[in-house]
Structure 1
Amino acid sequence: MAKRKVQRRARKILGEDPVALVWCEIGKPIPVPPKAVHRAAGKGRLKPGHPWLLYVGGVVFFFIVVPMMLVDKLGDVLGGQPASGEGNSTRRATPSGRPANDPTSAVFDGDWNLTAGQLLLRWYGHSPNPKRLVLLARDRVCLAASPRRTMSPTKADDFRTFAEFSSGEARIEAEPGQPRGYATFRLRFPDGSWLELARLAEPDDADHFLRTVSA
């Protein structure tokens, strides 16, 4: 659960205790917008920053793990065993069970000119870190981010809000009873646009958040 200093920071920002809060991320890459739309929004970054450890991990994966996998698969072929996965359907499913080509697996509604699209165009401009804090107050929803490239959701107390919506300007939709680890929720706006968020951090905060918005 979020530490007291996170709660204190949230209280200072909201001017009241949050009804619920949760750190989350965009679960899939942001689609590439039309060049004119991206340019009009300031040509902000559309991908999060990556800590150097990820690059090290990538190097290890491609130069050590991949060759070992290839050698292992070659041994299976020479031994007369079918390669793993052979004969399976090429249509793969996402961890949530949705087909990978299912349009319902989109990040947002698809209209860059509406509220969700405009929010996405500036999403990573507020912080290179992929995590965002959603704060629920009695009459509004706030989105906040930490300026740091790396952070701990339980300890980060330097976050600041970059968007605030009244209860009439945004509502949160979530299905109850979602499996932990795959839970998602949507921010829906009056213009019909929506944004899906996933990778909810801290089980206690996530469970309380989902119970609150599903009530």
Structure 2
Amino acid sequence: MANRKVHRRATKVLGTEPSALVWCSVPRSIPKPPGDVHRAAGKGRLKGRHHLLVYVGAVVFCAVIIPICLIDMLGQQIDRLIEGRSRRSDPNRRQGTPARDRGPGNGIFDGDWNLTAGQLMLRWFSQSPSPRRLVLLDRDRICVAASPRRRLAATKADDFEIVAEFRAGEARIEAEAGQPRGFAAFRIRFADGSWLELGRLAGPKGADRFLRTTATGA
């Protein structure tokens, strides 16, 4: 749950006590937009900047883990070839189910880069290198805030600023209360029909309160 510093900062940037707030992020990678649309929006970053430890981990992964995985995959491939020969004559064997297509928006937005949600996605990481955003609600506004830091603790960050603001009639929150922890998500639905789905809600108590507030309209 967001601590007192976060609430004090939220009250300062809003100018009033928030009715609900939650740290969240885009739950999956942002799909690649058309080149002309990306350039028109300033060609901002579409993913966050990684910490040095991430690169160190990548080197270790490439030098140690990948060879082990390749050896394991080779063994599995040999097993499949042997099994395939024994099952090739069976006409009733079941075929695998094709992967589900999430569509042009990858399940995180409606897919139209020219509408509000798409434009917000295009500027997501230019606002902050961290994927974390704080969604703040008061009586007639939905505000999205971000911290300039690359890494932050959701319960301690107190240097965030509002990067997008939507008045009543411009956007609304769509959420369900009582969602299972770890899978909870909500959508911001904009007046032009576009939508953005946010997940990875930080802080069980704060997330549950946010979902209850938005679901009941309290």
**Structure 2 equivalent of residue 123 of structure 1:** 124
Give secondary structure in 2 for the equivalent of 1:198: strand
1:191 aligns with 2:192: yes
Q: Give the residue type in structure 2 aligned to 1:32.
A: K
User: In 1, Cα distance between the equivalents of 2:113 and 2:196?
Assistant: 11
Instruction: Identify which of 82, 89, 93 aligns with 2:96.
Output: 89
- Over 3 Å counting, the alpha-carbon distance change for 1:56 and 1:91 in structure 2 is farther
- Over 3 Å counting, the alpha-carbon distance change for 1:161 and 1:67 in structure 2 is same
Q: State the 1:135 CA deviation.
A: 0.4
- Over 3 Å counting, the alpha-carbon distance change for 1:146 and 1:74 in structure 2 is same
**Structure 1 equivalent of residue 113 of structure 2:** 112
Q: State the 1:91 CA deviation.
A: 3.8
**Structure 2 equivalent of residue 132 of structure 1:** 133
Give secondary structure in 1 for the equivalent of 2:201: coil
**Structure 1 equivalent of residue 201 of structure 2:** 200
**Structure 2 equivalent of residue 20 of structure 1:** 20
User: In 2, Cα distance between the equivalents of 1:112 and 1:74?
Assistant: 41
Asked if structure 2 preserves the Cα contact closer than 8 Å seen for 1:49 and 1:128, the reply is yes
User: What aligned pairs does 1:156-195 form with structure 2 within 5 A after superposition?
Assistant: 156-195=157-196
Q: Give the residue type in structure 1 aligned to 2:37.
A: V
User: In 2, Cα distance between the equivalents of 1:119 and 1:30?
Assistant: 11
Asked if structure 1 preserves the Cα contact closer than 8 Å seen for 2:130 and 2:151, the reply is yes
**Structure 1 equivalent of residue 37 of structure 2:** 37
Q: State the 1:112 CA deviation.
A: 1.3
Give secondary structure in 2 for the equivalent of 1:16: coil
Asked if structure 1 preserves the Cα contact closer than 8 Å seen for 2:31 and 2:106, the reply is no
Q: Give the residue type in structure 2 aligned to 1:123.
A: W
**Structure 2 equivalent of residue 95 of structure 1:** none
Q: Which of structures 1 and 2 has the bigger CA Rg?
A: 2
**Structure 1 equivalent of residue 11 of structure 2:** 11
User: What aligned pairs does 1:68-87 form with structure 2 within 5 A after superposition?
Assistant: 68-72=68-72
User: In 2, Cα distance between the equivalents of 1:13 and 1:213?
Assistant: 21
Asked if structure 2 preserves the Cα contact closer than 8 Å seen for 1:140 and 1:164, the reply is yes
Scaled by the length of structure 2, the TM-score of the pair is 0.85
- Over 3 Å counting, the alpha-carbon distance change for 1:72 and 1:42 in structure 2 is closer
Percent identity, aligned pairs only, is: 60
Question: Any runs of at least 4 consecutive aligned residues in structure 1 with deviations exceeding 4 A, and if so which?
Answer: 72-78
- Over 3 Å counting, the alpha-carbon distance change for 1:82 and 1:190 in structure 2 is same
**Structure 2 equivalent of residue 147 of structure 1:** 148
User: In 1, Cα distance between the equivalents of 2:180 and 2:57?
Assistant: 28
Asked if structure 2 preserves the Cα contact closer than 8 Å seen for 1:49 and 1:130, the reply is no
Counting matched residue pairs gives: 204
Per-residue CA deviation, residues 172-210 of structure 1 (Å, 9 max, x unaligned), is 111333221111111111110111111111111111111
Scaled by the length of structure 1, the TM-score of the pair is 0.86
Asked if structure 1 preserves the Cα contact closer than 8 Å seen for 2:23 and 2:202, the reply is yes
Q: Give the residue type in structure 1 aligned to 2:191.
A: P
Alignment RMSD, CA only? 2.2
Asked if structure 2 preserves the Cα contact closer than 8 Å seen for 1:30 and 1:47, the reply is yes
Q: State the 1:37 CA deviation.
A: 1.2
